[in-house]
Homo-oligomer: A and B are copies of this chain.
Amino acid sequence: MTPPLQALFFDVFGTLVDWRTSIAREAEASLAPLGFRLDWLAFADAWRGEYQPAMEEIRSGRQPFCKLDTLHRRNLDAILPRFAIEGVAEAALAHLNHAWHRLDGWPDSAAGLGQLRRRFRIAPVSNGNISLMVDLARRNTFPWDAILGSEIAGDFKPKPIVYLSACAAFDLPPQACMMVAAHSHDLAAASALGLRTAHVARPNEHGPGRGETAPTVPVDFAATGLTDLAAQRAD
């Protein structure tokens, strides 16, 4: 018998926040005043492009776990030469790296989380570190019950321990938890462990028309946004 659903876990980058246009805006705000002119969206894509390879170094055991902030900085340093960016002071680079703490939510994220929290415990299960999740929550009014995810687990999704440590923190079996994400690979990993899954379409995550409009794996719910998901759960 399936236990009742008690907790919802959320992917954050892409699912709840629009990292691409936020990073482009923040990069321009940091670097344009220094005289740099470049394609800021391409810069955001390049920075994000280093994300999975950097985490794979840790998931594979080749590097010890560290906060995503540290990986973001490593990745930033790696892409700067590609855009001919040099001579930027350390304080400005640190501020730019913190751009990931200043991402804006999709329009429905805060309202949907607020509605879902009335019925379920909610927590991010993101690869972002705790302080990053806290800053995004304060900026966007995400009403988390707790910050779970990579820093609690000491590894990165889609490694099973990240999902399972979140269930364990809430004293729940995976079957009582649901992963909510805009990425089918995230949902597939959660589903393999017994969690329920909800897909949220974010068709513009990687640019207009370049995001998942529908899941490519079986899911329990497919929604167009978080308020839509909340409405489906109210049925």
Residues of A within 8 A of B (CB): 69, 121, 129-131, 133-134, 137-138, 144-148, 151-152, 169-171
Inter-chain contact A130/B146, CB cutoff 8 Å: yes
Inter-chain contact A138/B145, CB cutoff 8 Å: yes
Number of copies: 2
Inter-chain contact B169/A131, CB cutoff 8 Å: yes
Inter-chain contact B145/A121, CB cutoff 8 Å: no
Q: Which residues of chain B are near A130, meaning CB under 8 Å?
A: 146, 148, 169-170
Nearest chain B CB to A7 CB, angstrom units: 9
For A137, the closest partner residue in chain B by CB is B145
Q: Which of A121, A133, A145 has the most CB of B within 10 A?
A: A145
Nearest chain B CB to A234 CB, angstrom units: 19
Q: Which residues of chain B are near A169, meaning CB under 8 Å?
A: 129-131, 151
Q: Which of A69, A131, A152 has the most CB of B within 10 A?
A: A131
How many Å lie between the Cα of A171 and that of B132 in the bound state? 10
Partner of A134, one of B121, B133, B152: B121
Q: Which residues of chain B are near A152, meaning CB under 8 Å?
A: 152
How many Å lie between the Cα of A10 and that of B147 in the bound state? 17
A selection of 12 A-B contacts at a CB cut-off of 8 Å is: A69-B171, A121-B134, A121-B138, A129-B169, A130-B148, A130-B169, A131-B169, A137-B145, A138-B145, A144-B146, A151-B169, A152-B152
How many Å lie between the Cα of A137 and that of B145 in the bound state? 8
Inter-chain contact B151/A134, CB cutoff 8 Å: no
For A122, the closest partner residue in chain B by CB is B134
How many Å lie between the Cα of A145 and that of B133 in the bound state? 9
